[in-house]
Amino acid sequence: MRDPGTGTEYSSHSKRVINKDGSFNVKKTGLSPSTRNAYQSLIKMTWARFFLVTFAFLAFVNAVFALLYMLIGIEQLGETESRNLLDQFLYACYFSFQTFTTVGYGIYHPMGHLANIVATVESILGWMCFAIVTGILYGRFSKPSARLMYSEKALMAPYRNGLSSLQFRIANMRNSMLMEMEATVLLVMVDKTQRSWKREFIRLHLEREYILFFPLTWTIVHPIDEKSPFYQKTQKDMEDMDAELLIRIKGYDDTFAQTVHSRYSYKCAEIIWGAKYTPAFDTDSNGDIQLFFDQIHEYERVNPG
Amino acid sequence: MRDPGTGTEYSSHSKRVINKDGSFNVKKTGLSPSTRNAYQSLIKMTWARFFLVTFAFLAFVNAVFALLYMLIGIEQLGETESRNLLDQFLYACYFSFQTFTTVGYGIYHPMGHLANIVATVESILGWMCFAIVTGILYGRFSKPSARLMYSEKALMAPYRNGLSSLQFRIANMRNSMLMEMEATVLLVMVDKTQRSWKREFIRLHLEREYILFFPLTWTIVHPIDEKSPFYQKTQKDMEDMDAELLIRIKGYDDTFAQTVHSRYSYKCAEIIWGAKYTPAFDTDSNGDIQLFFDQIHEYERVNPG
Amino acid sequence: MRDPGTGTEYSSHSKRVINKDGSFNVKKTGLSPSTRNAYQSLIKMTWARFFLVTFAFLAFVNAVFALLYMLIGIEQLGETESRNLLDQFLYACYFSFQTFTTVGYGIYHPMGHLANIVATVESILGWMCFAIVTGILYGRFSKPSARLMYSEKALMAPYRNGLSSLQFRIANMRNSMLMEMEATVLLVMVDKTQRSWKREFIRLHLEREYILFFPLTWTIVHPIDEKSPFYQKTQKDMEDMDAELLIRIKGYDDTFAQTVHSRYSYKCAEIIWGAKYTPAFDTDSNGDIQLFFDQIHEYERVNPG
Amino acid sequence: MRDPGTGTEYSSHSKRVINKDGSFNVKKTGLSPSTRNAYQSLIKMTWARFFLVTFAFLAFVNAVFALLYMLIGIEQLGETESRNLLDQFLYACYFSFQTFTTVGYGIYHPMGHLANIVATVESILGWMCFAIVTGILYGRFSKPSARLMYSEKALMAPYRNGLSSLQFRIANMRNSMLMEMEATVLLVMVDKTQRSWKREFIRLHLEREYILFFPLTWTIVHPIDEKSPFYQKTQKDMEDMDAELLIRIKGYDDTFAQTVHSRYSYKCAEIIWGAKYTPAFDTDSNGDIQLFFDQIHEYERVNPG
């Protein structure tokens, strides 16, 4: 079935549609930044970046206030000894932070109206910023997300009654429990039969689209029968059509207590023709089942059915 | 299908049902304010308004406490010099804010029971208010919402086998990824055949009501066949019936990790008869797909099929 | 259809199953309190009760610490004048609150190890309590809930082709928008045909179980045809069977951005036989639609169809 | 139906699949800790453990800063008397906590650049840590979860028309209301007919998979007819097949205002052949329904139908 939401005409060969991190490979232009959602960016950025941004912001705000206190005169803060500007700036900063974080030792304290007003404003600002940072931090923590390990390679493996099947394997890297898992697989390929190439999106039917419990691994299987676009296609055909598998996995995570989503994609070069996965778990002597993540990717060569 | 939830008799011509901001065009009366939800209002108001309300509240509360401290006598705060009332009020305010924000430099500090009790109450109040503001701020941040760009005009465009079709186009203005998009379109029109005009709600069948991925644009298409209320209707007929399209788009946003909703409406005057959209994206030299938001609205004239 | 989850044998006449506030009319015994969820109680209790509990807790904790400081000796807090015990206790309280809320003016401050250690513990406790209160407050705010107005009376109203129908009417009291509304109505009645009375739960089929938009009122209609348990029953029959309507309404609230639920119940005495609702909204001169909540309950007598 | 997500070959007899606490009985290896989600662990650990971790963290951080202040020289904090190292360390700790919690009495306060800079850093750190702890605490509170009581034993009870049925009983231990309950039961058994034993997952059809309201108890019933894997099986057969019932209950909790999930499992040894449950609730003299949790597990012997 063609998907109007993403179908488009191409004059040139294009990159993968879904990046390995699950994001879409699309550049958006013609939007004023104002339409971007600051909160969303702060939620999505890496922790490193987030802390950098936060501290840069704190440093900037406090420097500004420190300068204000210097203009007012830092003797108004009860600091009278420091002579040179750097010292004055530093002491103003210390006071500024003591106000912003509401530590307020009191050794430095505003005197006179100007200093008091600026300090009052800063303390309220700190008060608000804190509330905002708390909210953003919680938003970052609680954002539910799946952490699935996908087998590095998808396999073209033998299947019952002499057919072959397209397979890939996933496992849950979190300690949480995943349940009610749903898998959807789209095949994207460029139809070069027409003069103007068209990108086609075809949904692949799966041997099983749903499992209730997901404690171990799940091998998603697309049988290559008459209905499959891979039917009687060679590896070469697929490459010519610039084929890509778009995968969407969805399930209920019992720690987040919410439904989590995961996206992934395999390009032709990541499909091994004629191989099957080797088990990635075992039952140990105590009867405990063990799952080995380092074996998720492992497969063995077979001659395709 | 008639929708009893919204169907009603009209004595006069009425305004649009859904405003451009997605809100319903309905005035509610006969409710005591107490039944309004303060939290919801604080969540829904603009940021400008929210900060105004917050600061007004802070100013008011602190002014009240400042007056209390003046009644008690601000020498009880360790401030003895200030003679005139304004000075006294200002210093009382500074102290009040130092207490409310828990900065508490200590240069001013309560002495005697009265001052201490009032200051204690204020510090607890500040403590609570902070918790409340934090909660509301997070509520504002995390409220999931879609930010879709709708084409300014809906189009009456040519469709396969000589039919025409009603179309409009959307794109996701956020950086987030939208998936599992669902579209529902209702036609509202006033049935003037009876003496007492009735507003009818008819659900329009769509060429496609669902797409899994939504990286670019989605053109929602209602084919105008026998089943369509637009079938063999002229632009004039529609205007006479005061026709309006109610649109509801729903999808999963991967940043909010929740389902987001969007509403929109097209009045007759916003439907162009005999036009089709021009592509709003392209693949650049590197093979990256680019989406141009400033071209979402663009269409070209065609003679209707 | 009988509902094993709630069906039961009765030796006596019983009260309504769902209270007007939507709660189940069931007493639970044989559970240790430990299995109760403190957070849930704090979320569900009224605001008045919540603040009472919070302040009682603050008062208690601070009193305990105040006593500790007295044992240590409040001269260790830098307070040396106060002679009598009450003064000492009060000053200890002031200091305790200054520590708990982290105001920390410093005029009183711990000296010596014991005082310092207790004060440190208290400041950390205050720090934690604050985080907890913030969390609970947000939980209270953000708990999504519907606020629907139900017509005081359900009506036995005339219906097309000479049938009658059971009706009740709802409207959204919030400023939020409700969409995708679903209604479910169960009839509970005591089957007295057997010796041991059984409570039966029968789901009533509705003329319409779903509406997409809900800007005004929605009249939920159960047509009384052959399939209906009310078919050819008199008001008396219903009363004998101790009949009760259990209602569950569900919809998406765009402010909470979540699905909200509402429960309600009508006992026989709240069903008017032979009446129909009068419109509760109108279009004013500007073409604005107005909804009058004070008219939701209004109906007029008619002779049943 | 075989479930590829969990099916596996066994060389040895294995433990139960779902532990009594609902967790999967699987060990995961081959993952670097970095892939574990710290937030999830902090959410899932017991309250005792959580507070232990928090306080250990606070103690550690403050000890580190205390040492820094000692290196700088605690006379820089305004503390000049304390001679011996322990005293110095303790006073440094007090100051550190006063800074971290932003109490900041001021009796000790940083002097000189080094002390000021370290104190500033600590106050910001405290500020951030507080935001983080607040977020985690809220996450712990608000994590929706079901608290169902399952009857200790599942029963093989008589059923209509001479069949027997497998039953277990649940009740809601929370004060919250549960609605729209769904039950799913899988039978896990080891198929020993092949040489390499296979674990089979078979979904059991239930007399009723859904109930709308759940005020009292719900007895989930699997009729043992031709379609049932228990059909004409003896207790011994089941034990040989190492049978286990996996149960998943799902419902809407009106306090969390979210769907909550519960898992449970019965091993063969926990199934009583030939018994039926005795009622666990009654209507008292006032007509109030009472639910007795201590009677949920009670059953009486009957000769199997």
B274-292 pLDDT, tens digit per residue, is 999 998 888 777 767 788 8
How far is residue B256's CA from residue C128's CA, in Å, rounded to a whole number? Answer: 28
Q: What pLDDT, on a 0 to 100 scale, did the predictor assign at position A257? A: 83
Q: Which two tokens stand for residue A141?
A: 């923590």
Question: Residue B169 — pLDDT band, cuts 50, 70, 90?
Answer: very high
Give residue B6's pLDDT band: very low, low, confident or very high (50, 70, 90): very low
ipTM above 0.85, yes or no: no
C interface residues, A as partner, C-beta within 8 Å:
102, 104-106, 134
Average pLDDT, chain C: 84
Indicate whether A3 pLDDT > 70: no
Å from C195 to nearest chain D CA? 17
Mean pLDDT of A204-228: 91
Q: Is the pLDDT of residue A11 over 60?
A: no
Say if the Cβ atoms of C5 and D213 lie within 8 Å: yes
Which range, of A162-166, B179-183, D23-27, averages the lowest pLDDT? D23-27
Q: How far apart are CA D132 and CA A114, in angstroms?
A: 34
Q: What torsion, rounded to 10 degrees, do the Cα atoms A204, A206, A209, A215 define?
A: -120
Name residues whose C-beta falls within 8 Å of residue C232's C-beta, 6 or more positions apart in sequence: none
For chain C, which domains are there? 37-142 (1.10.287.70), 145-301 (2.60.40.1400)
Answer yes or no: is pLDDT of D150 > 60.
Answer: yes
pLDDT band at B234 (very low <50, low <70, confident <90, very high): confident
**Does D147 have pLDDT greater than 80?**
yes
Distance CA A139, CA B35 (A): 30
Per-residue pLDDT, averaged over C205-226, amounts to 91
In angstroms, what separates the C-alpha of C257 from chain B's closest C-alpha? 6
- List all chains that touch chain C, counting a touch as 3 or more CB pairs closer than 8 Å: A, B, D
Q: Would you report the helix, strand and coil content of chain D in percent, each value rounded to 5?
A: 30, 30, 35
Binned at pLDDT 50, 70 and 90, residue D197 comes out as low
CA torsion sign, A152 to A158 to A164 to A170? Answer: negative
**Confidence at residue D185, expressed as pLDDT on a 0 to 100 scale:** 94
Query: Looking at the predicted structure, is the pLDDT value of residue D272 above 50?
Result: yes
| Token pair of A150 as six digits | 């996908």
* Average pLDDT of the residues of chain D: 84
pLDDT band at A107 (very low <50, low <70, confident <90, very high): confident
Confidence of residue C305 (pLDDT cuts 50, 70, 90): very low
What is the predicted pLDDT for the residue at A1?
Answer: 35
**What is the distance of C-alpha A115 from the center of its chain?**
45
Q: Let me know: does A120 contact A266? Beta carbons within 8 Å.
A: no
Whether residues A145 and B257 touch (CB distance < 8 A) is answered with yes
- Does the structure show a pLDDT above 50 at C181? yes
Structure tokens at B188: 């509202």
- Chain B neighbours (≥3 Cβ pairs under 8 A) are A, C, D
Q: CB-based burial of residue C235 (10 Å sphere; 0-12 exposed, 13-18 middle, 19+ buried)?
A: middle
Residue A206: the pLDDT is 95
Q: List all residues 6 or more positions away from A67 whose beta carbon is below 8 Å from its beta carbon.
A: A89, A92
- The secondary structure element, H or E, covering residue C38 is helix C38-44
Residues 6+ apart with CB under 8 A from D212: C3, C184, C186, C203, C248, D179, D180
What is the per-residue DSSP string for B99-119?
HHTT---SSS---SHHHHHHH
Residue C103 distance to chain D (closest CA, Å): 6
Min mean pLDDT across A287-291, B56-60, C191-195, D221-225 is at C191-195
pLDDT computed for residue D93 by the predictor: 93
Token code pair at residue D166: 């497998």
Helix (H) or strand (E) holding D57: helix D47-72
The residue in chain B having the minimum alpha-carbon distance to the alpha carbon of residue D99 is B103
How confident is the model at residue D14, as a pLDDT? 56
D5 contacts in chain A (CB < 8 Å): 181, 211-218
d(CA D277, CA D152): 11
**Percent of chain A's residues with pLDDT above 70:** 89
On chain D, the residues whose CB falls within 8 A of the CB of B105 are 106
Would you give the end-to-end CA distance of chain B in angstroms? 28
- Please report residues of B whose CB lies closer than 8 A to that of D132: none
Question: Which residue from D minimizes the CA distance to B99?
Answer: D103
Partner residue opposite B106 with nearest CB, options D102, D106, D134: D106
* Residue type at position D169: R
Mean pLDDT of chain A: 84
Q: How confident is the model at residue C195 (pLDDT cuts 50, 70, 90)?
A: low
Which of A9, A23, A27 to mutate to test binding with chain B, by most B CBs within 10 Å of its CB? A27
Tokens for C232?
């050819």
Distance from CA of A269 to the nearest CA of B (A): 18
Our CA-based measurement puts residue C104 at a distance from the nearest CA of chain D, in whole angstroms, of 5
**A10, pLDDT greater than 50:** no
Cβ within 8 Å, pair C15-D208: no
Q: Which residues of D touch A142 (CB under 8 A)?
A: 39, 135, 139
For position B2, what pLDDT does the model report? 38
Mean pLDDT for the stretch of residues D218-245: 89
Band of pLDDT at residue A175, cut at 50, 70 and 90: confident
pLDDT tens, position by position, D21-57: 767 777 777 776 654 467 778 888 888 999 999 999 9
Tell me what pLDDT residue C7 has.
43
| pLDDT greater at residue D143 or residue A72 | A72
pLDDT at A196: 58
Q: What does the pLDDT average to over A220-231?
A: 92
Confidence of residue C138 (pLDDT cuts 50, 70, 90): confident
Which residue's structure tokens are 């205050």? C126
**pLDDT value of position B31:** 72
What average pLDDT score do residues B152-168 get?
Answer: 92
* The total number of residues written for chain B in this structure: 305
Q: Are strands B154-158 and A281-283 parallel, antiparallel or unpaired?
A: unpaired
Q: Is the pLDDT of residue B255 over 90?
A: no
Q: Between residues C22 and A12, which one has the greater pLDDT? A: C22
- What's phi and psi for D171, nearest 5 deg? -145, 155
Nearest to B107 among A5, A103, A106 (CB): A106
All residues of chain A having their beta carbon less than 8 Å from the beta carbon of residue B215 are 5-6, 17, 24-26
Nearest residue to D217 (alpha-carbon basis) of D289, D129, D153 = D289
Which amino acid makes up residue A241? M
Q: C299 with C276: CB under 8 angstroms?
A: yes
* pLDDT for the residue B194: 61
Instruction: Give D258-297 as a DSSP string.
Output: EEEEEEEEEEGGGEEESEEEPP-EEE-TTS-EEEEGGGTT
What would the mean pLDDT of B184-213 be, rounded to a whole number?
82
Percentage of residues in chain D with pLDDT exceeding 70? Answer: 89
Q: Specify the pLDDT at position A27.
A: 77
Identify the closest residue of chain C to D217 by CA–CA distance.
C5
H/E element, B86: helix B85-100
User: What does the pLDDT look like over B49-103, one tens digit per residue?
Assistant: 999 999 999 999 999 999 999 999 888 888 777 678 898 999 999 999 999 998 8
- Does position A13 have pLDDT exceeding 90, yes or no? no
Determine whether the interchain pair B101/A127 forms a contact, defined as Cβ–Cβ distance below 8 Å: yes
Angle between helices A112-142 and D112-142 (to 10 degrees): 40
**From A188-192, A228-232, B36-40, D123-127, the region with the lowest mean pLDDT:** B36-40
Which residue of B27, B104, B258 is in closest CB contact with C288? B27
pTM: 0.82
- Evaluate whether D10 touches A289 at the Cβ level (below 8 Å): no
